Chains A and B, each alone.
Chain A
Amino acid sequence: MKKLSIILGKTVQKVTCLRGNGGSALPGLVVERTNRNFVREVLGKLPHGVVVVSGTNGKTTTTKMITELFESQGLKVFTNKTGSNFVRGVISAILKDIKISGKFDYDIAVLELDEAHAVKFSEVAPIDYALLLNVMRDQLDRFGEIDHTAAYLQKVAAAAKKTVILNREDPRVSKIEAKNTAFFGLSDSLIKEFPSDDDLLTHDKKKASKKTALVTLEKLDSKATFAIDGKKYTTPLKVKGVYNAYNAAGALAIVKTVLPKSKTDDIIKALANIESAFGRGEVLKIGETEVELLLVKNPSAFQLSLTSFVDKNHDYMIAINDEIADGRDVSWLWNVDFTSLKTVKVTSGTRATDMTLRLKYDEVKTDATIEDLKQALEKFVNTGKNPKRIFATYTAMLELRKIISGKSLV
């Protein structure tokens, strides 16, 4: 049955690729329909099992970190790099790599899954470990309320056969129950930089929880200091921003849990060289100008991005689209405090004017409001020599990236 599924899936993959549509979901659909145990049969045999990374913010970069950390330890890691973070996408990714003989040459799987898809995944495949990052308001118009999201993560945790690593400082995540749990956390001094969804407006001073954490992020300036098993490790990081440093603590916790005998010094060394994932602080060049792209998809991510990436040396542009993938509702912009910005050079996207309006009520000046992203970008790169940063919603980011890569080819 498995062999048949592989042949069938691979055939569909070939055919859809020939038709030139990338074919990411269809082969998965065909196999899903014909053999419900396919994923379980393949992933269930991995010697180190399956790690699932879920939560609202930071999944992509964290999954990348965990994958590269395992690779630094000599493991062959299967991961869903293409961003097909749903069951069919995972099946398609398996089909690409699996031999007709059924040989699937990996030691461990590290999969990034949306909260709802993680639940579906847990119904068709084994989960050994889970890393649950946070629960934030994200496109509420699509997924409903955040308590629902927390309930999804609880289901994922309950399905995990070994250990679930939880963000100690997220009120909804830290109370999730599982067979075995461990935490990653923050020191008291850093915790105020991490608003949970409830704190976004109240700005209450929080204290770190008293639960013992396996890994904590202790300090962050030009270098990051982590405490692991009571010992401190200080390292520079290529990933930028406080939230990425914090997610690195989660990644370290997973790696130390799966490979308890690994040498922490080596892992920290490997961590130092890991770079951000697409759209998460990626730096692109337009002529001589450096443009850094920062994905903002919900108030908490936007707030943390502003905390990490606003300084006097950069010029800023904000691109807000309200396509389905961004969320049609733009009211979340009013849950972000923009007062750390002095001026925004350009606002853009389908809801550029909403952004300009939002900034007006925080008394932040907007020099130009240009809905068209291409025109906005041209205007922005001609505003002076300062390096540039663009905060953009998902579809705006994709479009900007296309425009920029198109330019560099010329």
Chain B
Amino acid sequence: MKLKILHLYPKEMNLYGDHGNVLTLVKRCEWRGIKTEVIAHEPGDPIPDDIDIIFGGGGQDSNQNAIEDDLRAIGPQLKTMVDAGTPTLVVCGLYQLFGEYFQTAEGEKIKGISILDLHTVAGPNRLIGNVVVSTPEYGEIVGYENHSGLTELGEGVSPFGTVIKGYGNNGKDMIEGAKYKNCIGTYLHGPVLPKNPRLADFLITKAIERQTKSRPKLERLNDTVENRAHKVATTRPQ
């Protein structure tokens, strides 16, 4: 058994330690004897068809510009994979670009790749701080947000969770992130997976399930440190 993890734009889109999400997936597989291969996708690279998990993070504006053309080129391929149920996690910048469009402060609409039914409009302030989210499927999730885009969900996606502390998608509707099939989009850095091992294990479980066509029982890991760090994060000021 080997899981292939596609890491979208690790050079350009790695703000706020998002790479830690990939490391978390790799280690949590390795500790269970599951092999992994991380495929770092940079602009111009081809994408293999047999990807098991997709991950993409956030970047600053100038870096985001550098990947937009490539993202549009591989968009259809990514959409096919997500539609087929490939477990996917996209954070911040790529969460926005997985949507329909991003409207800048000047009113310009930057087209997304239309995998997630949502759109984002540049807001007047940065929404920054610790976040706690309640999710139906993965329990309480902690993270750190830092975005100025305000995201509204459409009919085709469900919320990732409800905001308990922090701003979430837009600071108004108390919704954080989006979910469609096995694809999760979120504003949460932190990075999100290390302190939310249940979410990491969901992605791994789905990946194995798709490969073996049967629901695996993941070996339990000792998550004492993970859970303690999670708990500490919930107690820190926003």
Residues on A lying within 8 angstroms of B by beta carbon are 137, 140-141, 144-147, 198, 201-202, 299, 322, 328-335, 350-351, 353-354, 356-358, 360-361, 363, 369
Is A144 touching B126 in the complex (CB atoms < 8 A)?
yes
Residues of B within 8 A of A201 (CB): 10-11, 14, 19
Residues of A within 8 A of B14 (CB): 201, 335
Choose from A144, A146, A322, A361 the contact partner of B194 (Cβ within 8 Å). A361
* Nearest-CB residue, chain B, relative to A362: B23
Is B144 touching A328 in the complex (CB atoms < 8 A)?
yes
A-B contact pairs, 25 of them (CB 8 A): A140-B16, A144-B126, A198-B11, A328-B129, A329-B16, A329-B189, A330-B144, A330-B190, A331-B16, A331-B18, A331-B189, A334-B18, A334-B23, A334-B191, A335-B19, A350-B236, A353-B225, A353-B229, A353-B232, A354-B195, A354-B233, A356-B225, A356-B229, A357-B225, A363-B27
User: Which residues 212-238 of B sit at the A interface, judged by CB distance below 8 A?
Assistant: 225-226, 228-229, 232-233, 236-237
Q: How far is the CB of B151 from chain A (nearest CB, A)?
A: 19
Judged by a CB distance under 8 angstroms, whether B114 is at the interface is: no
Is B191 touching A357 in the complex (CB atoms < 8 A)?
no
Known contacts A145-B61, A202-B11; A360/B225 CB under 8 A: yes
Residues of A within 8 A of B120 (CB): none
**Residue interface mask B1-40, A partner, CB < 8 A = 1:** 0000000001100111111100110010000000000000
Residue from A147, A322, A334, A354 having most chain B Cβ neighbours under 10 A: A334
Q: How far is the CB of B204 from chain A (nearest CB, A)?
A: 15
* Nearest-CB residue, chain B, relative to A329: B144
Is B232 touching A351 in the complex (CB atoms < 8 A)?
yes
Judged by a CB distance under 8 angstroms, whether B105 is at the interface is: no
* Nearest-CB residue, chain A, relative to B15: A140
Is A353 touching B144 in the complex (CB atoms < 8 A)?
no
* Nearest-CB residue, chain B, relative to A199: B11
Residues of A within 8 A of B62 (CB): 147
Residues of A within 8 A of B129 (CB): 141, 328
Q: How far is the CB of B203 from chain A (nearest CB, A)?
A: 16
* Nearest-CB residue, chain B, relative to A324: B237
Is B17 touching A333 in the complex (CB atoms < 8 A)?
yes
Residues of A within 8 A of B61 (CB): 145, 147
* Nearest-CB residue, chain A, relative to B60: A145
Residues of B within 8 A of A147 (CB): 60-62
Residues of A within 8 A of B190 (CB): 330-331
Residues of B within 8 A of A331 (CB): 16-18, 20, 144, 189-191
5 closest cross-chain pairs (CB), A and B = A334-B17, A334-B20, A331-B17, A145-B60, A353-B229
Judged by a CB distance under 8 angstroms, whether B130 is at the interface is: yes
Q: How far is the CB of A376 from chain B (nearest CB, A)?
A: 15
Is A334 touching B194 in the complex (CB atoms < 8 A)?
yes
Is B27 touching A353 in the complex (CB atoms < 8 A)?
no
Residues of B within 8 A of A144 (CB): 126
Q: How far is the CB of A348 from chain B (nearest CB, A)?
A: 13
* Nearest-CB residue, chain A, relative to B62: A147
| Bound-state Cα–Cα, A357 to B27, Å | 12
Is A354 touching B10 in the complex (CB atoms < 8 A)?
no
Residues of B within 8 A of A299 (CB): 17
Known contacts A140-B146, A329-B189; A361/B24 CB under 8 A: yes
Q: How far is the CB of B129 from chain A (nearest CB, A)?
A: 7
Given contacts A357-B194, A361-B24, A363-B27, 19 further A-B contacts (CB under 8 A): A137-B15, A141-B128, A144-B126, A147-B62, A201-B11, A201-B19, A202-B11, A322-B236, A328-B128, A331-B190, A331-B191, A334-B18, A334-B20, A334-B23, A334-B191, A357-B225, A358-B20, A358-B194, A369-B225
| Bound-state Cα–Cα, A68 to B28, Å | 52
Residues of A within 8 A of B233 (CB): 354
| Bound-state Cα–Cα, A243 to B237, Å | 34
Known contacts A201-B10, A361-B27; A332/B16 CB under 8 A: yes
